[in-house]
């Protein structure tokens, strides 16, 4: 749903004669709204419930997508700017609710497999980001454009009912632990984790406790941490910066690449295909992350290496070149997309490790919800 706006909004605003400064503001207000709602969600998600918050976020996102259909018929510049800004605030808020809650659920339900689970989720995210620009309206004024948003918004609405039934992450974790105990894989997993370097989250969530009763006791009696404490932890701050840089690279292309491709004489359909290069290779990087970087490599080294490669690949992309060099643009998009996955996937696990080392007596569920909000805020900042 988010990807539908990438090629559509810049073209619509340009057609209406809206200054490009407003285009950047409209894209930026989404991130600001996401940051604000992420911080709120991190504080309340464990009390309100993951399913309820995700259902609210999904409904608001669907509502905002459907409402985009009306923007096509607004001719007055001031009115269309105000209308789209309001919709982007709703979208950003919905994204803050959905994404923060999703990460909180994953960290609590799959604490020892968080990198693998994040990789699966990011592959699905990449599919959506690829399909969005390709399926975006090919015109900014036709009736077909309105129906594109109406149809996709309507299709998203029933998922509100589905996410209400996801249950509690603690129930998912306990069920997995019982299955692992019965199959004997739990002990094997501990052995492999004890011989691995500090790149594993296993046994860090509940240090020194093996049974369900002790784990629950620690979760309840553990001390709550604050956003300030977590942000003052250097490794949490460093990992968050990596997430910020990765999203900065992706979002840099959103308001500029579509207009740049118009100068190349590309139709909006071809623009959607080119914009889809980054999420396509983002998915490939997420899939191959396990093989690209062996487990013995320190996570912070991976994040620094990814940032260094991005520093050289981003200038190759079109918006930074005066000349119309298609080959350089495509190369920049491919390399940039390939490195975004390895920079995003290890971030949450690194934050969780850093938190348990800095605050060993903290309540893991509460801490992980705040970390989810911090991660999403860094995405928004980028």
Two tokens, residue 221: 């009696």
CA 163 to the chain's CA centroid: 18
**DSSP designation for 224:** P
Check pLDDT > 60 for residue 374: yes
Q: Tell me the C-alpha distance between 34 and 67, whole Å.
A: 19
* pLDDT at 8 (0 to 100): 66
Q: Tell me the C-alpha distance between 277 and 286, whole Å.
A: 14
Q: For tokens 């984790």, what's the residue? A: 193
Check pLDDT > 60 for residue 330: yes
Two tokens, residue 30: 């989404």
* 66-109 pLDDT per residue, tens: 887 787 787 787 888 888 889 889 989 998 999 999 999 999 88
Residue 265's alpha-carbon distances to 12, 130, 133, 271, in angstroms, are: 17, 21, 17, 10
Two tokens, residue 230: 């977590």
Q: Tell me the C-alpha distance between 45 and 42, whole Å.
A: 6
Name the most confidently modeled range: 116-130, 268-282, 362-376.
362-376
Q: Tell me the C-alpha distance between 92 and 266, whole Å.
A: 29
* More confidently predicted of 263 and 221: 263
Question: Is residue 239 a contact partner of residue 350, using CB atoms and an 8 Å limit?
Answer: yes
37 falls in which pLDDT band (50, 70, 90)? very high
Strand partners, 223: 362
Check pLDDT > 80 for residue 343: yes
Question: Is residue 268 a contact partner of residue 7, using CB atoms and an 8 Å limit?
Answer: yes
Question: Is residue 243 a contact partner of residue 381, using CB atoms and an 8 Å limit?
Answer: no
Residues 342-368 have a mean pLDDT of 88
pTM of the full structure: 0.76
Q: Percent of the chain at pLDDT above 90?
A: 16
- Give the end-to-end CA distance of the chain in Å, rounded to a whole number: 19
Q: Among 88, 117, 99, 110, which Cα is nearest to 28's?
A: 88
Q: Which residues have CB under 8 Å from 281's CB, separation 6+? A: 333, 334, 336, 337, 338
Q: Among 154, 13, 162, 147, which Cα is nearest to 88's?
A: 13
């Amino acid at each position: 749903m988010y990807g539908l706006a990438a090629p559509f909004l810049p073209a619509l605003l340009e057609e209406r004669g809206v200054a490009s400064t407003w285009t950047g503001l409209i894209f930026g207000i989404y991130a600001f709204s996401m940051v604000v709602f992420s911080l709120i969600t991190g504080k309340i998600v464990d009390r309100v419930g993951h399913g309820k918050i995700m259902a609210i976020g999904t409904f608001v996102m669907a509502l905002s997508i459907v409402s985009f259909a009306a923007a096509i018929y607004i001719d007055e510049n001031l009115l269309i700017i105000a209308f789209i800004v309001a919709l982007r605030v709703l979208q950003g808020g919905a994204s803050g609710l959905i994404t923060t809650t999703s990460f909180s659920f994953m960290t609590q339900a799959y604490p020892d497999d968080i990198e693998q689970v994040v990789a699966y989720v990011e592959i699905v995210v990449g599919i959506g980001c690829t399909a969005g620009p390709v399926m975006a309206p090919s015109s900014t004024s036709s009736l077909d454009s309105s129906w594109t948003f109406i149809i996709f918004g309507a299709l998203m609405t029933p998922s509100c009912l589905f996410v209400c039934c996801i249950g509690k992450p603690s129930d998912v974790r306990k069920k997995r632990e019982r299955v692992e105990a019965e199959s004997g894989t739990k002990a094997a997993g501990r052995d492999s984790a004890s011989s691995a370097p500090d790149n594993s989250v296993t046994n860090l969530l509940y240090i020194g406790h093996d049974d369900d009763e002790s784990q629950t006791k620690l979760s309840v009696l553990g001390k709550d941490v604050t956003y300030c404490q977590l942000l003052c932890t250097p490794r949490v701050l460093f990992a968050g910066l990596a997430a910020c840089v990765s999203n900065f690279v992706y979002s840099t292309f959103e308001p500029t690449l579509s207009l740049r491709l118009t100068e190349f004489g590309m139709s909006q359909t071809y623009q959607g295909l080119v914009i889809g290069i980054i999420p396509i290779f983002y998915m490939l990087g997420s899939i191959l992350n396990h093989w690209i970087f062996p487990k013995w490599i320190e996570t912070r080294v991976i994040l620094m290496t990814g940032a260094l490669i991005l520093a050289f690949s981003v200038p190759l992309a079109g918006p930074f070149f005066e000349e119309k060099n298609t080959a350089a643009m495509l190369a920049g998009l491919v390399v940039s997309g390939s490195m975004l996955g390895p920079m995003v996937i290890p971030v949450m696990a690194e934050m969780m490790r850093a938190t348990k080392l800095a605050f060993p007596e903290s309540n893991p569920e509460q801490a992980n919800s705040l970390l989810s909000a911090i991660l999403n805020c860094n995405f928004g900042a980028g």
